[in-house]
């Protein structure tokens, strides 16, 4: 038997806090319909694509007038996409709720993500298995995967396996692309006449799966606290050594929610927000100039050190690079078979360069060769450029160094520039979940079971009022299709969940923009330390600062 660390053993004993309504018998909780929730755009196209799912109301769970009658259910669960702290608690909450509804209900876990459903590989999740993973990080209870379910063959295999297992319901735990899978499966099962309720659970450390009803995706709270601890340590090191500028890239494939939250938690000298770059149509050179100006201003104070936070997806938000990436995506989509036969490096770069338009070709050739190659690397299964493998932090270091030399030649800069680069990503995905994420994820699993019990297929679990104590949280759900739009993927228009980006007019960004000028010149960094699991609730249960700013007046 593996010997547990003291913290591991203590986390097993933690009992998640839940919304007050969950203290009722699960059979005495019922959905109450609220307003019809429709997508922001592409409504006709989505209505045609999802005729069985479109136009349904949001629901909130309230005390029932009479208890629900139920039978033993067989429910499957899929962990999809990258791990996020709390996924195991989603399964624990789902398992406990199912057993409360009917002790003979069965929960099975499809192994390795969506491919487990397609291939029919799964295990029964017993109490002995589930109990070993309560309040722990990772997705290793059944594994995960990034398979995109979209072809007729994949959908039909999923349907046949669901039928062979006599599946009553399926829970898909994942981000925007994974919950798009859930919507596709729900619609297909309905079209095939299968009474399988498919529900989603909002997971992504990026924080880009949210709206009025989904106030936060799980894993975000834990990841940002982990990254903030590391950034805070670097801030203290920078102020101690006083000789390095630290360029820190943070995970977040598209949205800058992680960068913004970590900026509040640590107060770096510079924090770039991708959405602002796009809104202001900032060029790569203007971004570099802003960094160089900040470095020069601190050098004038005799402080040749500092900390810069860079969102992972920044490069896709710089307008001219965004256009370049779109052209490369279309080239790869159109000539994929030939492209896949080419060796990486110079051959692929030449292939792409020869097919680009004049402006994009000029920009492409101006970038360092290593960045050119990274832009040409294989896309992920959803057609996205793999921004985590593009060393944006090193690109900015090289260009900033060049700009500072130009400034020095004009006597506009007299400091010394030395640097270190970092990328924090995988460090935050599988940590022990914070108390917030442990509570939230357990409640999401319980909420998903309620959606199943009331046959609300095509819905995603949604819990509101998250800035309040857990007892005051408001569980419910919304149709997944209401979150979708039509986007270009692999050269084709496809229905996908729209990413929730940082709102430039939102309260969190406005608070950040009011504070950043003072942070730029200050060395009074905030050092948050590690995640606190024990102690006063004001410390252990504190939700994200951005969540508080968004939800509290």
Q: pLDDT tens digit string along 263-282?
A: 999 999 999 999 999 999 99
pLDDT, residue 333, reads: 82
Decide: 139 and 429 in contact? Cβ < 8 Å: no
End-to-end CA distance of the chain: 50
Distance CA 178, CA 203 (A): 9
Domain boundaries, the chain: 20-219+433-497, 220-429+505-524+537-551
Decide: 400 and 291 in contact? Cβ < 8 Å: yes
| Alpha carbon distances (Å) from 92 to 39, 376, 448 | 32, 41, 11
Element (H, E) at 107: strand 106-110
* Arithmetic mean of pLDDT, 22-46: 95
Query: Is the pTM higher than 0.85?
Result: yes
Is residue 553 pLDDT above 70, yes or no?
no
Closest listed residue to residue 239, CA positions, set 300, 304, 310: 304
Q: Return the active site residues.
A: 206
* Arithmetic mean of pLDDT, 435-445: 98
Decide: 18 and 443 in contact? Cβ < 8 Å: yes
Answer with the residue of higher pLDDT: 381 or 446: 446
Domains 20-219+433-497 and 220-429+505-524+537-551 share a fold: yes
* Arithmetic mean of pLDDT, 403-429: 96
Answer with the residue of higher pLDDT: 379 or 54: 54
CATH architecture, domain defined by 20-219+433-497: 3-Layer(aba) Sandwich (3.40)
> Sheet harboring 474-479: ordered strands across?
29-36, 57-63, 474-479, 459-464, 197-202, 169-174, 74-79, 106-110, 122-124
- What value does the mean pLDDT of the chain take? 94
pLDDT, residue 344, reads: 85
Cα torsion through 89, 544, 41, 491, rounded to 10:
-70
Is residue 260 pLDDT above 70, yes or no?
yes
According to DSSP, residue 511 is labeled: H
For residue 370, how many other CB atoms are within 10 A of its CB? 14
CATH of domain 220-429+505-524+537-551: 3.40.50.460
Is residue 1 pLDDT above 70, yes or no?
no
pLDDT digits (tens, 9 = 90+) for 310-339: 999 999 899 999 899 889 988 888 887 888
Q: Are strands 270-271 and 306-311 parallel, antiparallel or unpaired?
A: parallel
Is residue 345 pLDDT above 90, yes or no?
no
pLDDT digits (tens, 9 = 90+) for 100-158: 999 999 999 999 999 999 999 999 999 999 999 999 999 999 999 999 898 999 999 99
Is residue 382 pLDDT above 60, yes or no?
no
Q: Where are the alpha helices (DSSP H) in 18-126?
A: 43-49, 87-101, 114-119
């Amino acid at each position: 038997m593996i010997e547990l660390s003291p913290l591991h053993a203590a986390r097993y004993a933690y009992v998640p806090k839940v919304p007050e309504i969950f203290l009722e018998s699960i059979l005495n909780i019922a959905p109450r319909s609220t307003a019809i929730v429709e997508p922001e755009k592409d409504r006709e196209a989505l209505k045609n694509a999802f005729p069985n799912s479109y136009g349904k109301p949001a629901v909130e769970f309230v005390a029932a007038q009479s208890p629900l009658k139920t039978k033993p259910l067989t429910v499957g669960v899929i962990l999809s996409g990258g791990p996020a702290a709390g996924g195991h608690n989603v399964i624990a909450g789902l398992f406990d709720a199912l057993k409360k509804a009917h002790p003979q209900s069965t929960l099975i876990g499809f192994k390795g993500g969506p491919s487990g459903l397609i291939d029919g590989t799964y295990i029964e999740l017993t109490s002995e298995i589930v109990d070993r993973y309560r309040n722990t990080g990772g997705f290793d209870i059944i594994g995960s995967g990034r398979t995109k379910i979209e072809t007729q063959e994949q959908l039909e295999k999923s349907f046949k396996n669901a039928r062979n297992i006599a599946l009553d319901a399926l829970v898909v735990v994942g981000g925007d692309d994974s919950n798009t899978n859930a919507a596709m499966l729900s619609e297909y099962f309905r079209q095939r006449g299968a009474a399988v309720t498919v529900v989603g659970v909002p997971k992504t450390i990026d924080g880009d799966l949210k709206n009025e009803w989904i106030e936060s995706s799980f894993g975000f709270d834990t990841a940002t606290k982990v990254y903030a601890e590391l950034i805070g340590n670097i801030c203290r090191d920078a102020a101690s050594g006083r000789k390095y500028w630290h360029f820190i890239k943070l995970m977040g494939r598209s949205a800058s929610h992680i960068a913004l939250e970590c900026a509040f938690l640590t107060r770096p000298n510079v924090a770039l927000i991708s959405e602002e770059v796009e809104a202001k149509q900032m060029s790569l050179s203007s971004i570099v100039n802003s960094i160089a100006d900040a470095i020069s201003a601190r050098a004038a104070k005799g402080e040749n050190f500092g900390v810069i936070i860079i969102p992972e997806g920044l490069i896709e938000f710089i307008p001219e690079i965004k256009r370049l990436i779109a052209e490369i995506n279309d080239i790869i989509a159109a000539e994929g078979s030939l492209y896949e036969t080419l060796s990486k490096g110079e051959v692929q770069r030449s292939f792409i360069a020869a097919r680009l338009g004049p402006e994009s070709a000029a920009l492409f050739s101006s970038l360092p060769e290593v960045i050119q190659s990274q832009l040409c690397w294989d896309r992920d299964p959803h057609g996205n450029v793999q921004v985590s493998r593009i060393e944006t932090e090193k690109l900015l270091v090289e260009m900033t160094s060049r700009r500072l030399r130009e400034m020095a030649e004009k006597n506009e800069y007299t400091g010394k520039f030395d640097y270190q680069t970092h990328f924090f990503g995988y460090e935050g995905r599988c940590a022990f979940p914070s108390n917030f994420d442990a509570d939230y994820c357990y409640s999401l699993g319980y909420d998903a079971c309620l959606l199943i019990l009331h046959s609300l297929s095509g819905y995603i679990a949604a819990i509101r009022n998250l800035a309040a104590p857990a007892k005051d949280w408001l569980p419910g759900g919304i149709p997944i299709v209401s979150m979708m739009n039509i986007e270009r993927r692999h050269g084709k228009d496809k229905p996908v969940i729209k990413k929730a980006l940082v709102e430039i007019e939102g309260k969190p960004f406005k608070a950040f923009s009011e504070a950043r000028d003072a942070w730029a010149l200050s060395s009074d960094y905030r050092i948050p330390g590690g995640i606190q699991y024990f102690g006063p609730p004001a410390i252990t249960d504190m939700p994200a600062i951005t969540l508080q700013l968004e939800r509290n007046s």
